[in-house]
Amino acid sequence: MSKGYLHGRTALVTGSVQGIGLAIAKALGAEGARVGVHGLADKAQIEAAQAEIRAAGASQTRFFDADLTDLSAIEAMMSAAADWGPIDILVNNAGIQKTTPLADATAQIWDAVIAVNLTAAFHTMRLALPAMAQRGFGRVVNIASVHGLVASRDKAPYVASKFGLVGMSKVAALEYAGSGSRDSGGVTVNCICPGWTETAIIAPQVEARAATHGGNRDAGIASLLAEKQPSQRTSDPAEIGALAAFLSRREAHNITGSAIPVDGGWTAQ
């Protein structure tokens, strides 16, 4: 049973209208946090996501509309969220992927992937962390990827963005490690690095593999898992949400600068 250990805290989760982001928002809401929701979606999807988060236990929700490739939009979102908040927990989850060989990766693909996956997180962190340090409590949880720890073919922009996110998170963790105290909870910055997880972002790869197995989706997933993930199991987004909620506890004050794989042994090989 939830103990509501985030009661009175405010979280902002980017890319939280579906998938891992929505699961994280629900997990934080289940512990009593107010949750700022963000993402690319229509009105019905936004309302449905907020309803799910409130049903999970969030005391309040609010949608923030920001194009993460636009600095002025990011700054406006962070200012509005801080006024509503202040922001105690920042989860940079929004991300995009384009699978293509290096030789075929265009400047437009590179710019888009780096902008959303890395540059946007840089700006949200630089805008949120100083105030967290002043209050003596703050949590930044960046959703990187197993591809922030190891590489794969045909994913140069994505791998670069996720390696960059892990490295930037370590720098921020060092800079803010001395903020606050054990009693206040301190300020921590960590990455979660999922392997194969049942989300929309892997759909194109599943479809491509399925096509080589007569259109059988289950066979396509099995093919992906066999290649990389020794557990032979995908993760459920709710499992990533549970880890993000744990990292937000006061007791997690000394877990900082970590890049935690949830990858069924992928990076242990």
Residues annotated as catalytic are 158
Name the nearest CA neighbour of 36 among 67, 62, 18.
62
Residues with Cβ within 8 Å of 18's Cβ and at least 6 positions away in sequence, in order, are 39, 41, 45, 49, 199, 200
* β-strand partners of 186: 137
Q: How many CB atoms within 10 Å of residue 103?
A: 6
8-state DSSP, 200: G
Of the candidates 119, 112, 128, the residue with the CA atom closest to the CA atom of residue 12: 128
Which residue is it, tokens 């922030």?
A: 148
Angle of the 120-135 helix axis to the 156-176 helix axis, nearest 10: 20
For residue 230, whether the previous peptide bond is cis, meaning omega lies within 30 degrees of 0, is no
Please answer whether residues 201 and 143 qualify as being in contact, where contact means their C-beta atoms are separated by less than 8 angstroms.
no
